[in-house]
Amino acid sequence: MLKGEKGIMKGIREDRIDFNKDYLGESARLTFTQGVTEVNSAEINLSQLQRNISIIRRNIKPGTQFMAVLKGNAYGHGLIQIAYEVERCRCDSIGVVRVTEALKLREAGISIPIIMLAPIMPEQADYVVNYDVTISVDNECILKALQESCDKYNKVVNVHIKVNTGLNRYGIEPKDACDFINMIKGKYPSLIVEGIYTHFRDAEFDNVFTELQIERFNNVLNKLEKEKLRPQIAHAAGSAGILLYPKAHYDMVRCGLILYGLELNEEQKLLLPGMRSLMTIKSRVVKIEEVKKDDFGGYGNRFKASRNSFIAVIGAGYGDGISRGWKEVLISGRRIPIINYCMDGIIVDITDFKGEVNEFDEVIIIGKQGDETITWEEACYHIKCFSDEQLQRITARVPKNYFYEGEVIKNN
């Protein structure tokens, strides 16, 4: 915002997403590829995103701000498209960790506050100041760089102070909070201290330590209150904090995993009723082969038929982000075992399901079909991987199709 101006930048965004524009630099959305159906796709249910948001909202105090965390390409769901939806759902702000993520959002016309949850480098200051990005600060070098940019462009910039209460990643020490804020107020007049926050180390499992972190943060806030230095927005809770520590919601919650309907881990089932994942990975049967006893199916010796068999090739492999170690897919509402894999396909054994599987049938790799569901948590459990980590592995060549329930799915 300009110096002296209050509130947020007014965006110039259009209502519809321009799918021709390659916002993410991730896939060439050239004219020739428009309208082509791919053999596989990630189908993203925006109605479910709306539902997850409203369920979470009902579980936080009215008036608590809601930050949607969209780092990592919105946990693999597509930064811009998810940003449009969370803005439409009136989330209060968006959290990211890379300056390029923040700038892509502004370029796409997103006008709600964007808050950086990781440090920036001094040479990025001009960009974040110009595009009204809110910065986490814990370091005087960044304060200086931000002030210089503000002077250069006649701007002010919002900052949130990061406090380290035990994660030992970023942040100033709790005892330094008063001095740090006083220093900003004294030396860096164009920096507006809007927020203060901390982050939990292990809110899912370590109750004792989380309580200690909350106590340390409360002490900081009380001290600042006394000195009349408390910033307007205090925040601490990510998904685990939102679900397990209502007293740590403070003035804002920072919602990542559960926004996308992902469980925090596979051991505890913490999602609230009605919350579900947004993304289904679909593919098709591209070929059915007969394999005689003692013959092979696919590369190497991974599958040697112990009986006369039928196998099917599915059009999604590790080139699409399908992980070796996933056990089953769904075809015709049945769980079918995966027996081999390659870059462009996985092979399943359909001997026991011969009449039920046909070439070009739909295959669900992650998601629901009939009465069966393969969840992200189940698939990731087999490969000892977090679901948010696995979502980052789905590659750019898998088209993302966005839909609202009841709407016909369009390709993009």
Taking a C-beta distance cutoff of 8 angstroms, is the pair 91, 68 a contact?
yes
Q: What is the spatial distance between Cα 309 and Cα 178, in angstroms, rounded to a whole number?
A: 72
112 binds ligand PLP (CB under 6 A): no
Nearer to ligand PLP, 270 or 288 (CB): 270
Q: What is the spatial distance between Cα 408 and Cα 267, in angstroms, rounded to a whole number?
A: 36
Nearest to 393 by CA among 255, 240, 285, 279: 279
116 binds ligand PLP (CB under 6 A): no
Nearer to ligand PLP, 53 or 322 (CB): 53
Three-class SS state of 155: strand
From 35-43, 45-53, 179-187, 249-257, give the range in contact with ligand PLP by CB under 6 A.
249-257
Please give the full DSSP string across 308-361, using - where no structure is assigned: SEEEEEES--GGGTPPTT--EEEETTEEEEEEEE-SS-EEEE-GGGGGG--TT-
238 binds ligand PLP (CB under 6 A): yes
155 binds ligand PLP (CB under 6 A): no
* Helix 140-153 and helix 177-187, axial crossing angle in degrees, nearest 10: 20
* HEC profile of 100-129: HHHHHHHHCCCCCCEEECCCCCHHHHHHHH
From 49-57, 102-110, 254-262, 298-306, give the range in contact with ligand PLP by CB under 6 A.
254-262
387 binds ligand PLP (CB under 6 A): no
Nearer to ligand PLP, 166 or 238 (CB): 238
Q: How far is the CB of 409 from ligand PLP (least distance, A)?
A: 27
255 binds ligand PLP (CB under 6 A): yes
Q: Identify whether 71 is a catalytic site residue.
A: yes
**C-alpha triplet 94, 100, 102: angle, nearest 5°:** 20
Where on the phi/psi map is residue 254: left (φ > 0), alpha (ψ -120 to 50), or beta? beta
DSSP state of 90: T
Q: Identify whether 410 is a catalytic site residue.
A: no
69 binds ligand PLP (CB under 6 A): yes
Taking a C-beta distance cutoff of 8 angstroms, is the pair 357, 289 a contact?
no
From 38-46, 86-94, 222-230, 253-261, give the range in contact with ligand PLP by CB under 6 A.
253-261
249 binds ligand PLP (CB under 6 A): no
Interface residue with ligand PLP among 160, 199, 282, 284 (CB under 6 A) is 199
From 58-66, 255-263, 281-289, 378-386, give the range in contact with ligand PLP by CB under 6 A.
255-263
261 binds ligand PLP (CB under 6 A): no
Nearer to ligand PLP, 20 or 54 (CB): 54
257 binds ligand PLP (CB under 6 A): yes
Residue nearest to ligand PLP (CB): 256
Report which secondary-structure segment, H or E, holds 72.
helix 71-75
Residues with a catalytic annotation lie at: 71, 299
Interface ranges with ligand PLP (CB under 6 A): 69, 71, 117, 199, 238-239, 254-257
